Structure 1
Amino acid sequence: MENMNSLLAKYIFEDKVADTDYLLTIASEFIEIYHRRVARQESERRQRLWRYLHYRRESVLSMGILLQAARGLDYGNKERSCWALPRNRDWWENMVLKEWNDEFWLTNFRMTRATFMAVAEQLRPFIEKEVTSMRTPITVEHRLAITLWRLATNIEYMSLSKLFGVGRSTVCCIVHETCRAIEKHLMPKIIRFPENRELLNTVDEFNTKCGFPQVAGLVDCTHISIKTPKDSLEDYLNQNEFHSVVLQAVVDHRGMFIDTDVGQPGSLLEANVFSLSSLHRSLSRGTLFNPNPTQLIEGETVPLLLFGTSAYPLLPNLMKCYSDDEQMTEDQKHFNLQLSSTHANIQSVFGRLKGRWQILNKTNHNQLNSINSLVHACCTLHNICESNGDPFQPAWLSGIDNSTSRNEHCECPLPEASKTRHALTEFLKNQ
């Protein structure tokens, strides 16, 4: 550029710019200088690229030599210490697994050793990790024990980490993963509405124990306390002045869950929770009971029924007590007493559920998106323990809170629903 400027100044100084030949000469010289400059820049660029590729080639060759040398060294079975901090698992491996009897297992894991091992085998295909050259994975039994201890006590993750010799973040992942596995793979087989002969046996057992015909289950709600959510605070604040989600459940004559629905905000009344549930949709479509045999009672054809509280609507297949606002007869009062006595069984089941799994009785500090799987896991484990006959310790009931929002549902019931309730009232009168 400096040469071009001096050349142009020369011709201007000599006052030869007006001559056409001189102008062409200047242009050709400018072009020649430009091409030389471009060629020089291209040469420099190619040299830089060559130096870079040469450096990369030398680096790759050096790395290959190092790797080849490393392969020739004999490391044996030495574990890499950089993958995880060494932790003491002696208590779990040598004390719990080898020394504890059934009493200790029941007190701490809320189930006997036999039940524990059976659950572990059912979960093995879904939570077992592959053994790699990096490290030995945490066993299925160890994972299940961590999860059950958390569900039974609501202990903090840090304390659980020190107790079982596992990192805190790993403990958190294990609990959530195991609960999701229980919900996804065990719950569909454990919590299900009975069908065919099993359903008819349930109806017969209710009739024998409670004196009511055509009863297939008891439905009610309970609140699961949660930490104050970041959003929608008022939606989760229930009438008892704490934040919660609602668990609606149906139980059978054995105190086993046969239907669960969890996650609705605590501010919703039971009637609204019911109307939003799959249970309500199944009842409305007539697909809940299979089969649905009817029985002629006091001149009325009565289908299979669920019993609910006064907070539920009165439906042809959902019975509740007469309203206290009504001028009740003695027969209606007797009906209310019998139905309330029968329905009280579900509150006992909720008590046993929260007593066995204290995480449902205390404020739950899990995120909202993980509450559902945790509650479903507890309900599933409740059924497993009850069906296996694992003892329930009365001390677990201490401090149990079965809070519900009892607001009587006022409606104009369908005529057939009122007729069914009247038929049952007359049935009890004549017994």
Structure 2
Amino acid sequence: MLCVALRFFANGSFLYNIGDAEHISKATVCRVVRKVCLALKRFLRIFVLFPGHKPVRAIKEEFHRIAGFPNVVGCIDGTHIPIIAPSENEADYVNRRSIHSVNVQIICDAAHLITNVEAKWPGSVHDSRMYRESTLSNRLETGEIDGFLLGDRGYPCRPTLITPYPEPEPGPQRRFNVAHCRTRARVEMTIGLLKARFRISVAAETVSSSPSSCEDEHLSTLYNTICNNF
């Protein structure tokens, strides 16, 4: 059962293609994938934990070693997962590239481990709104977690979410942006690794239109398990 689901996640193939290869029906593949997703969901908050399983001080030190940026506890970005056009509220899922998608918020540490994932927003929703309405934003704003995130210019600059200077002047501002870019690149690399390992996350023809069934949260559990053991 697990092998069938892993093949589906890794290849992003149609269900009937997986069924033909495994000599089982499309309906069976669908049931198997759903069961595995539900099983992974139970482990999500164990394997995907913000700011991470390491002490906060160690997380900050790992980020600091990249480019000298202090007090960073994570890097944040949004990524769009293509989906089949939904029958309800279809326009809400059309992103800026005119593709139906779910917008997924991902935060990672310096070792490319995913420490927070939220996959419930339609593709038309902006990254800044996803973060603003997340429980993680409130935890940082209230000081529950000591440190800040690094994000791109799509986010508003806040005491707990640092973005680059829009038009940096030569000198300190430009050096700030260089260090910011080098450090924040960790989240772009993490998203790239996730999509390379699990092609289902880029296969529009095979992903459900329901945000609640979006596989990306479940795949984060698998992704972190692989990174920790291989």
TM-score, scaled to structure 1: 0.51
Q: Report the structure number with the largest CA radius of gyration.
A: 1
> How big is each residue's C-alpha offset from its partner over 1:175-221, in whole Å with a ceiling of 9 and x where there is no partner?
0111111012x211110014696221111111122211111110111
TM-score, scaled to structure 2: 0.93
Distance in 2 separating the partners of 1:376 and 1:258: 11
Distance in 2 separating the partners of 1:211 and 1:338: 7
Give the CA RMSD over aligned residues.
1.8
Q: Is the 8 A contact 1:176 1:374 kept in 2?
A: no
Distance in 2 separating the partners of 1:305 and 1:366: 33
Identity %: 26
Which residue of structure 1 aligns with residue 24 of structure 2?
A: 166
Distance in 1 separating the partners of 2:45 and 2:216: 14
Distance in 1 separating the partners of 2:95 and 2:17: 31
* Residues 249, 282 of structure 1: alpha-carbon distance in 2 compared, 3 angstrom cutoff: same
Which residue of structure 2 aligns with residue 330 of structure 1?
A: 171
Which amino acid is the alignment partner of residue 17 of structure 2?
Answer: S
Which residue of structure 2 aligns with residue 156 of structure 1?
A: 14
> How big is each residue's C-alpha offset from its partner over 1:327-378, in whole Å with a ceiling of 9 and x where there is no partner?
6342111211210121112111111100000010121533333654511111
Distance in 1 separating the partners of 2:220 and 2:155: 22
Structure with the higher helix share, 1 or 2: 1
Which residue of structure 2 aligns with residue 24 of structure 1?
A: none
Q: Is the 8 A contact 2:51 2:74 kept in 1?
A: no
- Alignment equivalent of 1:252, drawn from 106, 109, 126: 109
Aligned positions, number: 230
Distance in 2 separating the partners of 1:192 and 1:280: 15
* Residues 231, 196 of structure 1: alpha-carbon distance in 2 compared, 3 angstrom cutoff: closer
Distance in 1 separating the partners of 2:34 and 2:158: 38
Which amino acid is the alignment partner of residue 192 of structure 1?
Answer: L
Distance in 1 separating the partners of 2:35 and 2:211: 10
* Residues 148, 195 of structure 1: alpha-carbon distance in 2 compared, 3 angstrom cutoff: closer
Deviation (angstroms), 1:318: 1.2
Unaligned runs of 5+ in 2: none
Which residue of structure 1 aligns with residue 199 of structure 2?
A: 358
Which amino acid is the alignment partner of residue 374 of structure 1?
Answer: E
Q: Is the 8 A contact 1:146 1:175 kept in 2?
A: yes
Unaligned runs of 5+ in 1: 1-142, 293-303, 390-431
Which residue of structure 1 aligns with residue 37 of structure 2?
A: 179
Which residue of structure 2 aligns with residue 339 of structure 1?
A: 180
Deviation (angstroms), 1:171: 1.1
